[in-house]
């Protein structure tokens, strides 16, 4: 029956349409047939229909997902990859196995912050939290020294993530060392009262969807999905609506690097569902912040807003954000204020005020009151989203 486009979704959809038209690649013809049929123009409230998606979703449901990995959908993906000179094969899809993994974590201010282990980048946020443990943050969130320390700690987290995060099935990742106090101390020794250049790979962009869920029985879900860069590769398998991702973009081109491109290997992955608990084991709730390499930066800021500054989920998400770009370059939201921005510049940061709110991540969060069991929800004011109770 169609799907009505929400405002931010429509804007990003329109931006992708313009980019793909400029590229004018034959590999993207199916994308236009699927996402811009008969001149469809994305705008808020526009009703978009795709029979291919409907058939695909029914097929996935009827086969409990098997069709995508070893059935008709797998065969269609294989055929389209072969026709376009791609390397993906049905055997690759059939070889896929989902994994149960043990989350990694660190403790901060009486709370335990959980992240997905490498090849995800959640370890970057945990390293930053560990670095901050030795530098007590001011009580006021708008203290310039506190913001300076957060930014500097985040740079150290990215320094390690970009150096070591890779597919652990191919290259061992010593998470215990990365999250050790010795490593945190080594990073702290490099920091001071002036912005520093961490001499690491600059973050790039991405595109992701996140949701958090909880029920009155105590079950909680932190879920994230991404084709990367909006519509991924822009390559759509004919008649299916299946858009192939371009996550391989995050491989390293240096063959000696742990994250070097190789067959059967997963790249450094930006998507990181988060979870917050207390150090006594009591769960607090799921959270996430979409947005490529903004994700661990958003995790750090939302966690600190919650556990250090005592904000509720909506306040923690609404608070002004910053984003480290590369070297000493930082973007801040205009709502951070002129005074704080000037102070960051005085401390050596090259600051740009960004007027596009979507670049600072798009988060959701649920928090469970340990006494009453009441669930509090927060939804990102910078993008489409809502809190649903049923």
pTM: 0.94
Indicate the range of 13-27, 97-111, 354-368 predicted with least confidence. Answer: 354-368
Structure confidence at residue 188 as a pLDDT band (50, 70, 90)? very high
As beta bridge partners, residue 378 has 365
Tell me whether strands 350-354 and 329-333 are parallel, antiparallel or unpaired: parallel
pLDDT at 359: 83
Residue 185 structure tokens: 């101390």
What contacts 24+ positions apart, CB below 8 Å, involve 136-142? 137/304, 137/308, 139/309, 141/304, 141/305, 141/308, 141/309, 141/319, 142/337, 142/340
Residue 68: inside a domain: yes
Give which of 156, 143, 145 is closest to 189, Cα–Cα. 156
Please check the confidence at residue 324 and state whether its pLDDT lies above 70.
yes
Residue 303: inside a domain: yes
pLDDT at 151: 97
pLDDT at 213: 97
Together in a domain, 189 and 311: yes
Together in a domain, 47 and 65: yes
Together in a domain, 125 and 40: no
Structure confidence at residue 340 as a pLDDT band (50, 70, 90)? very high
Together in a domain, 199 and 84: no
Question: What residues have CB less than 8 Å from 350, skipping those under 6 apart?
Answer: 195, 327, 328, 329, 330
The tens digit of pLDDT for each residue in 92-135 reads 999 999 899 999 999 999 999 999 999 999 999 999 999 999 77
Together in a domain, 87 and 55: yes
Q: Torsion angle, CA of 338/343/347/352, rounded to 10 degrees?
A: 0
pLDDT at 205: 58
As beta bridge partners, residue 252 has 260
Together in a domain, 274 and 176: yes
pLDDT at 135: 78
Please check the confidence at residue 139 and state whether its pLDDT lies above 80.
no
Together in a domain, 177 and 201: yes
Indicate the range of 32-41, 206-215, 338-347 predicted with least confidence. Answer: 206-215
Together in a domain, 371 and 332: yes
d(CA 57, CA 157): 39
CATH of the domain at 152: 1.10.246.130
Number of domains, the chain: 2
Q: Structural domain of residue 69, as residue ranges? A: 3-94
Together in a domain, 65 and 108: no
Together in a domain, 182 and 297: yes
Give which of 251, 223, 246 is closest to 119, Cα–Cα. 251
């Amino acid at each position: 029956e169609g799907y009505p486009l929400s405002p931010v979704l429509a804007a990003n959809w329109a931006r992708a349409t313009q980019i793909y038209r400029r590229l004018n690649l034959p590999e993207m013809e199916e994308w236009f047939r699927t996402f811009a049929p008969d001149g469809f123009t994305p705008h808020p409230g526009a009703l978009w229909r795709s029979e291919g998606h409907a058939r695909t979703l029914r097929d996935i449901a009827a086969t409990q997902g098997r069709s995508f990995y070893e059935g008709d959908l797998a065969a269609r993906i294989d055929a389209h990859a072969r026709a376009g000179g791609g390397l993906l094969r049905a055997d690759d899809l059939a070889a896929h196995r989902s994994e149960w993994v043990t989350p990694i974590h660190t403790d901060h201010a009486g709370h335990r912050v959980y992240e997905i282990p490498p090849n995800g980048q959640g370890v970057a946020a945990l390293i930053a939290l560990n670095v901050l443990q030795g530098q007590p943050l001011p009580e006021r969130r708008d203290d310039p020294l506190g913001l300076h320390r957060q930014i500097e700690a985040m740079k150290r987290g990215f320094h390690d993530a970009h150096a070591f995060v890779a597919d652990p099935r191919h290259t061992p990742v010593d998470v215990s060392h990365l999250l050790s106090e010795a490593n945190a101390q080594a990073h702290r020794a490099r920091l001071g009262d002036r912005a520093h250049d961490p001499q690491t790979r600059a973050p790039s962009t991405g595109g992701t969807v996140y949701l958090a869920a909880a029920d009155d029985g105590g079950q909680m879900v932190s879920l994230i999905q991404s084709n990367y860069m909006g519509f991924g590769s822009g390559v759509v398998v004919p008649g299916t609506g299946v858009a192939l991702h371009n996550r391989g973009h995050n491989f390293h081109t240096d063959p000696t690097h742990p994250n070097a491109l190789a067959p059967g290997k997963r790249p450094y992955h930006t998507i990181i569902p988060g979870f917050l608990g207390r150090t006594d084991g009591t769960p607090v709730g799921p959270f996430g912040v979409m947005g490529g390499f903004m994700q661990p930066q958003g995790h750090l800021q939302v966690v600190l807003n919650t556990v250090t500054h005592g904000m509720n989920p909506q306040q923690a998400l609404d608070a002004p954000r910053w984003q480290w770009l590369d070297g000493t370059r930082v973007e801040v939201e205009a709502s951070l204020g002129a005074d704080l921005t000037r102070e960051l510049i005085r401390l050596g940061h090259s600051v740009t005020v960004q007027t596009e709110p979507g670049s600072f991540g798009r988060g959701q969060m649920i928090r469970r009151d340990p006494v009453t069991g009441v669930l509090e929800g927060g939804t990102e004011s910078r993008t489409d989203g809502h809190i649903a109770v049923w």
